[in-house]
Structure 1
């Protein structure tokens, strides 16, 4: 069942990322984030009577702290799409499987397989090729080293999501997937203390902006979260994480039908190596 849930997360996140890119391009990362928070609150309220289960304040607090990491990742993710190449930055951000495997090795004692080792090498080389201008790096021109404006945000997203999606196993094993998911959408009540967020929520609620793509993104994103939580609750992170993390493969295929962002040869080689590495890790 762990593999089944991982595949559901793979499909859900692949579609979610496509609509994240569409929404970020249309209305920006700020409004897209607000929509995700509102949909997350709706998810939590609807599912409360059916899946609440056991509650422990200590592990809920851990889930809340990890949710802060996840939410910051969301903001960087949308910013990467808003400011840069969709296929490139989606692939880099989606390489969080590399980080989940490394964290699982360090903190959960899971074993690195030959496929995982090769996948890590592929992803590392792929990210370097796709995200950096090697000529500028060799010249020492650090300002022009990134190949795309969104690469920096995508890399931060990869690191943050990798940490979150690996350490989240700790509260899931103690309080289940529902109470682990709830904190992801609990940031908004605190952010409402800021005037900009209050205004943003009102604009979204009054339908003053185009929210359709954002809602579709949020529905699939949280569907992927639930499937992922259920998966790692029944299997190893190093198994479920990389399969779910292979969603950039689906995303890149889908995005080519929607966006016409141009890539140079080096970036294409990097993307293909990264995607290949993600697949190798998922096969481990």
Structure 2
């Protein structure tokens, strides 16, 4: 068989095998199938005080980070990924790249914590903010200010009303004005949609929810389409702010990702069954579910 005959593993295989992550990543001498929980904070230097391959300090990097980030990057078709101590920490790292005088367009309906943080940050640091309904045709185009808008933020479907936004149209509108598009894809997960394939610059996840899936981890993640200077600023913010994910939480997130495909498939089946059951119910005014 020629090398070209080998097919790349599909997403479910990548997830189930954690993209081949093993203890060997952290220690070449290890033969353990499951990666260890790397609890160390610092790493040894040699006799000349030079660092080895492991790094300098866990706040900057660790084998556990690299393993789960490699999986996230692969299943989102991204160039790189970063895990954070929470979804809010991930969102904050992106917003922190804005400067006084910049402008951001964000959804008026969406996850409450992110919207409130954007409002607070923009008001405190002199950043213009326009809240819109991105699912309304033309709303983003009318809100974006060419040469001033730096970020366009959408969440699709929105939490909790489940409105769906056209990612490609949002990306085209943002890029035409020189802005970047951030997509909160917590609800969709990479199983149902890859926003980077539709023009998004960064996709964000509250990994506490579907990605981990066991209600025992608070985590966030960002995946980028390009490892450019802007991405470097976001990485630096994580390092300097200390918004890193704990060792146990990182390991648990990698474990949770192994069953993501199975869980999302069953959750979607159940959600549709419930929505169809209650659609048109005499005592309900509406059923909010985009699958109907």
- Pick the structure with greater CA Rg: 2
What TM-score, normalized by structure 2, do the two folds share? Answer: 0.25
> Which structure ranks higher in relative contact order (CA pairs < 8 Å, sequence separation ≥ 6)?
1
The structure richer in helix per residue is 1
